[in-house]
Structure 1
Amino acid sequence: MKTKRKVEIAVISDVHLGTYGCHAKQLLTYLNSISPKKLVLNGDIIDIWQFKKRYFPKSHLRVIKKIMDMASDGVEIIYITGNHDEMLRKFSDTTIGNISIVDKIVLELDGKKAWFFHGDVFDVSIQNAKWLAKLGGYGYDVLILLNRFINWCLEQMGREKYSLSKKIKNSVKSAIKYINDFEKVASDLAIEKGYDYVICGHIHQPKMQLKENKFGSTTYLNSGDWVENFTALEYQFKRWKIYNYNKDKLRAFYADEDIKDMEVKDLIAAITIVEQKKKKKLN
Structure 2
Amino acid sequence: MKLLRIKRKIELAVISDVHLGTHGCHAKHLLNYLSSIEPKKLILNGDIVDAWQFRKRYFPKSHLKVIKKIMNMAADGVEVIYITGNHDEMLRKFTGNTIGNISIVDKLALDLHGKKAWFFHGDVFDVSIQNAKWLAKLGDYGYRALTQLNRLVNWYLERRGKERYSLSDKVKNDAKNAEKRIKKFEKVISDLAIENAYDYVVCGHIHHPKMAYIENKHGTTMYLNSGDWVENFTALEYQFKRWKVYHYNKDKLSPFFVDEDFENMEFRDLIAAITIVEQHEKKAK
TM-score over 0.5 for the alignment?
A: yes
What is the CA–CA distance in structure 2 between the aligned matches of 1:281 and 1:255, rounded to whole Å? Answer: 29
Aligned partner of 1:13 in structure 2 is: 16
Are positions 1:182 and 2:182 aligned together?
Answer: no
Q: Offset of 1:260 from its aligned partner?
A: 4.5
Q: Is 1:58–1:260's contact at 8 Å kept on the other side of the alignment?
A: no
Are positions 1:104 and 2:107 aligned together?
Answer: yes
What is the CA–CA distance in structure 2 between the aligned matches of 1:152 and 1:96, rounded to whole Å? Answer: 40
Q: Is 1:26–1:255's contact at 8 Å kept on the other side of the alignment?
A: no
What is the CA–CA distance in structure 1 between the aligned matches of 2:245 and 2:163, rounded to whole Å? Answer: 23
Q: Offset of 1:43 from its aligned partner?
A: 0.2
Aligned partner of 1:24 in structure 2 is: 27
Question: SS of the residue aligned with 1:107?
Answer: strand
Instruction: Please point out which of 250, 268, 271 is paired with 1:268.
Output: 271
Question: SS of the residue aligned with 1:37?
Answer: strand
Q: Is 1:59–1:259's contact at 8 Å kept on the other side of the alignment?
A: no
Are positions 1:234 and 2:247 aligned together?
Answer: no
- Provide Cα deviations, 1:119-178, integer angstroms capped at 9, x if missing partner: 000112211222211111111110001111111222233222110011111122311111
Matches within 5 A, 1:180-219: 180-219=183-222
Q: Offset of 1:258 from its aligned partner?
A: 4.5
Are positions 1:121 and 2:124 aligned together?
Answer: yes
Question: SS of the residue aligned with 1:188?
Answer: helix
- Provide Cα deviations, 1:164-195, integer angstroms capped at 9, x if missing partner: 01111112231111100000001000000000
What is the CA–CA distance in structure 2 between the aligned matches of 1:34 and 1:144, rounded to whole Å? Answer: 28
Q: Offset of 1:267 from its aligned partner?
A: 0.7
Aligned partner of 1:246 in structure 2 is: 249
Structure 2-normalised TM-score?
A: 0.97
Q: Offset of 1:263 from its aligned partner?
A: 1.4
Aligned partner of 1:164 in structure 2 is: 167
Higher helix share: 1
Moved over 3 A (4+): 256-260
Q: Offset of 1:277 from its aligned partner?
A: 1.1
- Provide Cα deviations, 1:197-244, integer angstroms capped at 9, x if missing partner: 000000000000000000000000000000000000000000100100
Matches within 5 A, 1:122-137: 122-137=125-140
Are positions 1:150 and 2:179 aligned together?
Answer: no
Per mean C-alpha deviation after superposition, the further-off stretch among 143-152 and 23-32 is 143-152
What is the CA–CA distance in structure 2 between the aligned matches of 1:89 and 1:33, rounded to whole Å? Answer: 30
Stretches of structure 1 lacking an aligned partner (at least 5 in a row) = none
What is the CA–CA distance in structure 1 between the aligned matches of 2:14 and 2:280, rounded to whole Å? Answer: 24
Q: Is 2:209–2:245's contact at 8 Å kept on the other side of the alignment?
A: yes
Aligned partner of 1:43 in structure 2 is: 46
Are positions 1:279 and 2:285 aligned together?
Answer: no
**Number of aligned residue pairs:** 282
CA RMSD of aligned residues (A): 1.0
Q: Is 2:226–2:245's contact at 8 Å kept on the other side of the alignment?
A: yes
Structure 1-normalised TM-score?
A: 0.97
Per mean C-alpha deviation after superposition, the further-off stretch among 271-280 and 211-220 is 271-280
What is the CA–CA distance in structure 2 between the aligned matches of 1:230 and 1:25, rounded to whole Å? Answer: 11
